[in-house]
Amino acid sequence: MSLINRRSFLATAAAASAALSAPMVLAQGRPKVIVIGGGAGGATAARYIAKDSDGAIDVTLIEPTRQYYTCFFSNLYLGGFWEYENLGHSYGTLASEYGINVVHDWAVGVDRDAKTVSLAGGHTLPYDRLIIAPGIDFVDGSVPGWDISAQARMPHAYKAGSQTQLLKHQVESMREGGTFAMVAPPNPYRCPPGPYERVSMVAHVLKERNPTAKILILDPKANFSKQALFEDGWSRHYDGMIERIGPDFGGGNVEVRPEAMEVVIDGEVQAVDVCNVIPAQKAGRIAHLAGVTDEGGWAPVTPTDMRSRVDDSIFVLGDSSNQGAMPKSGFSANSQAKVAANNVRADLTGSRVFPARYSNTCWSLIGTDDGIKVGASYEPGTDQIESVSSFISAVGEDAGLRQRTYEESIGWYEGITADIFG
Amino acid sequence: MHRFGLILIATLAGVLAAPAIAQTQIRAEALGDPESGQTVFLRDCAFCHQIGSDARNGVGPQLNRIYDRGAGSIDGFNYSPGLRRMGVDGLVWTYETLDAYIANPRALVSGTRMSYRGLRDEQERHDLLAYLRAYSDQPQNIPESAPTARPTLPELSTDTLQIVGDPEYGEYLSGECITCHQRSGADQGIPSIVGWFEEDFVVALHAYKQGLRPHPVMQMMASRLDDEQIAALAAYFASLNE
Ligand SMILES: Cc1cc2nc3c(=O)[nH]c(=O)nc-3n(C[C@H](O)[C@H](O)[C@H](O)COP(=O)(O)OP(=O)(O)OC[C@H]3O[C@@H](n4cnc5c(N)ncnc54)[C@H](O)[C@@H]3O)c2cc1C
């Protein structure tokens, strides 16, 4: 079967959800790569391996959802700057253009000795190299009173999709003069500026619809990402609306009561109207099941190639990895995926290995046309990925530059989503 | 094409290698001569630009107090989007940036509306810059007079441009760029970099690396690319079509 035929066959097979058995037969003899998780890290890796190996490697991507909603820009959707539909991306192109076997199922186990992955649907798939990129899961009990069953009353909205829609709805229908509370997470967590960009976007909505409302941030961290820039922006755009309680004043000792819609701060009960709980985080569950995580809850990798320190045949990408200095971001996951893809191909087909290069930039929107950014480039150090140079927006930049920074972030969104999903 | 690429590289290498090279390599150079500069101005610039008392905008903006002026900052002049973008990003006219712009306008400011092919003669540029300096607020503060020594390393520049890029390496390196610059050439807030002439591409990246072009992200990106990597990227992106 020619490459073209094989590709369209796979596409049809994937579309018909009959993807599993047939392509495995076709793939006999070619080395097999399985990618668990079709997010910023996993989908990029699958695409680069398939694209650059020109069919020499059989790539299977396991991802339960048919439509991936990006967390990045989900805050802009909350603020009314971005359409919900524009957050969604499908796997159609990865299947049809790149011949990736996209399997919509959960990975529920990894047998590292047999080199197989088992799926919730009952199938077991063999691999030569495995990429684990399942994003984050929440640490049970990290916010007393909250567990995943409370997410309808107190949403986390830290995995995008219906949670983000729910939070937006709650903010927009909050009673006049009500209180929006956010329980911010401890380090490390995905997207360091994410909670604070979210507060900015919620404040933007409230200022327009409900100007007497208040925002309360309960924060276990003494400092946070781009703090000076956010605080400057908050005082310029939303003066008096936002209060942050840090660890000195009990922000690290918080319990929530979803039924009563209360938060307890250092023993003091306060009624709230909307409560966004962002719990402490750890690597996605499948990384733990595969036995590649450490006591901190993340999967340690070697800085030159993102290979698991526990198993040479496994690579861990994105939020789940413990790699060193890179923040957990979509940009980082995408950057790491290209390094891993280069090494996976070299392992399996002997192609050239180029030196690892990583980078990250995180844009945040504070208010209309008021964008800021922080970024750095990284290289492998002896044990970990290390930062080699960095930059950050400055307080007091003129409005034209802030607007241009916002426009750039839109360019980046279009660029990275094209790079992830084809 | 080739020629103008070379000119700017020479300029860039000259101006910017300064901190890196040993003091001994810096050779003192004659100051530009404002009188000869006036001749160059009348021959090459006056058709479009006015300078001096009563100077007004013409085809190009008036050039009084050009030193330390933000690029694209004269109210009421209809600048190109490219020059305006550079100004917003923080491009300020200094001895170095003016030198680079006059040597090869398009390589410093993509899509500039100034249809001037560039002034290749280095001495003429020095003279012209000395002439423009006379119409500035505080000419004594413009670092053309002291120190009078300016480094030049033109040999290095020729080598740099002659490196033949390795497209396979370029394709790998491009992965870092494609996160922001779309491979399709679409421009939605971040400019397209596909299908450029290789020389222009090389010159533009050196301009970021040396800090002549403003923009923190691009300066950081370019700062860790060596000459060979820049050549590889130029070869790869030149091979893509919009
Ligand atoms: C509000 C917010 C704003 C953000 N803003 C930005 C930003 O502006 N810029 C930026 O760079 N980053 C941003 N991020 C961070 C970014 O979203 C994440 O860092 C990024 O998505 C991480 O990529 P990943 O591949 O590790 O995980 P994910 O993108 O989460 O992908 C993991 C995938 O794995 C799948 N999966 C999980 N378990 C299994 C399993 N067992 N079997 C099969 N599949 C599984 C999931 O369904 C998911 O699709 C933001 C995050 C949030 C929450």
* CB of A420 shorter than 6 A to ligand 1: no
Statement to judge: residues A145 and A109 lie in one domain? no
With H, G, I as helix, E, B as strand and everything else as coil, classify residue A363.
Answer: strand
* CB of A106 shorter than 6 A to ligand 1: yes
* CB of A37 shorter than 6 A to ligand 1: yes
Report the C-alpha gap between A386 and A151 in whole angstroms: 36
Looking at residue B143, what is its pLDDT?
52
Report the C-alpha gap between B206 and B219 in whole angstroms: 9
Q: Which of B194, B215, B217 to mutate to test the interface with A (most CBs of A within 10 A)?
A: B217
On whether residue A61 sits in a domain, the answer given is: yes
Q: Does B81 touch chain A (CB under 8 A)?
A: no
Domain boundary among A228, A245, A277: A277
Number of domains forming the structure of chain A: 2
On whether residue A1 sits in a domain, the answer given is: no
Q: Does B218 touch chain A (CB under 8 A)?
A: no
Report the C-alpha gap between B177 and A334 in whole angstroms: 11
Q: What is the mean pLDDT of each run of 10 residues along chain B (242 residues)?
A: 40 40 35 89 94 91 92 94 92 91 90 91 92 77 42 44 85 95 90 88 89 91 94 93 68
Q: How far is B90 from chain A (nearest CA, A)?
A: 8
Best of A62, A68, A72, A197 to mutate for ligand 1, by most ligand atoms within 8 A of CB?
A72
What six digits make up the tokens of B199? Answer: 């020389």
Candidate from A359, A389, A404 with C-beta closest to B85: A404
Domain boundary among A277, A304, A322: A277
Report the C-alpha gap between A140 and A280 in whole angstroms: 8
CATH architecture of the domain with range B22-133: Orthogonal Bundle (1.10)
C-alpha B60 – ligand 1 centre gap (Å): 49
Statement to judge: residues A356 and A246 lie in one domain? no
On whether the CB atoms of residues A220 and A251 are closer than 8 A, the answer is yes
Looking at residue B138, what is its pLDDT?
65
By C-alpha distance, which of A357, A306, A303 is closest to B179? A357
Pick the CATH number of B158-239 from 3.40.630.30, 3.20.20.60, 1.10.1040.10, 1.10.760.10: 1.10.760.10
Domain boundary among A277, A292, A313: A277
**Which distant-in-sequence residues (6+ apart) come within 8 Å of A55 by Cβ?**
A3, A6, A30, A99
Report the C-alpha gap between A278 and A71 in whole angstroms: 13
Report the C-alpha gap between A66 and A90 in whole angstroms: 6
Q: Do residue B88 and residue A334 have CB atoms under 8 angstroms apart?
A: no
Q: Do residue A375 and residue B188 have CB atoms under 8 angstroms apart?
A: no
A256 bridge partner residues: A263
Whose Cα sits closest to atom 38 in ligand 1? A134
Q: Do residue A416 and residue B182 have CB atoms under 8 angstroms apart?
A: no
By C-alpha distance, which of A147, A152, A212, A143 is closest to A182? A143
By C-alpha distance, which of B132, B135, B144, B145 is closest to B37? B132
Which residue in A has a C-alpha nearest to residue B86's C-alpha? A401
Q: What is the pLDDT along chain A (422 residues), one digit of tens a residue?
A: 333 333 333 444 444 443 343 334 444 589 999 999 999 999 999 999 999 999 999 999 999 999 999 999 999 999 999 999 999 999 999 999 999 999 999 999 999 999 999 999 999 999 999 999 999 999 999 999 999 999 999 999 999 999 999 999 999 999 999 999 999 999 999 999 999 999 999 999 999 999 999 999 999 999 999 999 999 999 999 999 999 999 999 999 999 999 999 999 999 999 999 999 999 999 999 999 999 999 999 999 999 999 999 999 999 999 999 999 999 999 999 999 999 999 999 999 999 999 999 999 999 999 999 999 999 999 999 999 999 999 999 999 999 999 999 999 999 999 999 999 99
Report the C-alpha gap between A10 and A31 in whole angstroms: 17
* CB of A63 shorter than 6 A to ligand 1: yes
Chain A residues whose beta carbon lies within 8 Å of the beta carbon of residue B90: 401
Angle (deg, nearest 10), helices B154-162 and B227-238: 40
C-alpha A376 – ligand 1 centre gap (Å): 20
On whether residue A215 sits in a domain, the answer given is: yes
Coarse DSSP helix, strand, coil percentages of chain B, rounded to the nearest 5 percent: 50, 0, 50
Query: Could you give the dihedral angle defined by the CA atoms of residues A265, A269, A270 and A274, in that order, rounded to the nearest 10 degrees?
Result: 80
Q: Which of A49, A53, A361 to mutate to test the interface with B (most CBs of B within 10 A)?
A: A361
Q: How far is B203 from chain A (nearest CA, A)?
A: 22
Q: How far is B74 from chain A (nearest CA, A)?
A: 15
Which DSSP string do the residues of B55-96 spell out, in sequence order? ---SSS---TT-TTPBTT--TT----HHHHHHHHHT-B--HH
Statement to judge: residues A130 and A146 lie in one domain? no
A321 bridge partner residues: A299
Q: Does B85 touch chain A (CB under 8 A)?
A: yes
The strands making up A358-367's β-sheet, listed across from edge to edge, are A358-367, A370-380, A385-392
Which residue in B has a C-alpha nearest to residue A406's C-alpha? B189
Report the C-alpha gap between A85 and A78 in whole angstroms: 13
Q: Which residue has the tokens 């550079």?
A: B86
On whether the CB atoms of residues B82 and B204 are closer than 8 A, the answer is no
Domain boundaries, chain B: 22-133, 158-239
Report the C-alpha gap between B27 and B21 in whole angstroms: 12
Looking at residue B13, what is its pLDDT?
42
CA A136 from centre of chain: 7
On whether residue A271 sits in a domain, the answer given is: yes
Q: Which of A335, A408, A410, A417 to mutate to test the interface with B (most CBs of B within 10 A)?
A: A408
On whether the CB atoms of residues A217 and A198 are closer than 8 A, the answer is no
Q: Does B240 touch chain A (CB under 8 A)?
A: no
Statement to judge: residues A131 and A163 lie in one domain? no
Which DSSP string do the residues of A391-422 spell out, in sequence order? EE--TT--HHHHHHHHHHHHHHHHHHHHHHH-
**Which distant-in-sequence residues (6+ apart) come within 8 Å of A157 by Cβ?**
A74, A78, A163, A164, A166, A167, A198, A276
On whether the CB atoms of residues B17 and B155 are closer than 8 A, the answer is no
C-alpha A94 – ligand 1 centre gap (Å): 18
Neighbours of A187 (CB within 10 A): 14
On whether the CB atoms of residues A384 and A325 are closer than 8 A, the answer is yes
Q: In which domain, by residue range, is A95 found?
A: 6-137+281-421
CATH at residue A121: 3.50.50.60
Whose Cα sits closest to atom 6 in ligand 1? A72
Report the C-alpha gap between B113 and B85 in whole angstroms: 13
With H, G, I as helix, E, B as strand and everything else as coil, classify residue A152.
Answer: coil
Residues of chain A whose beta carbon is less than 8 angstroms from a beta carbon of chain B are 48, 331, 334-335, 338, 342, 352, 354, 357, 359, 361, 373, 375-377, 388-391, 400-401, 404, 407-412, 414-416, 418-419
* CB of A329 shorter than 6 A to ligand 1: yes
Statement to judge: residues A167 and A114 lie in one domain? no
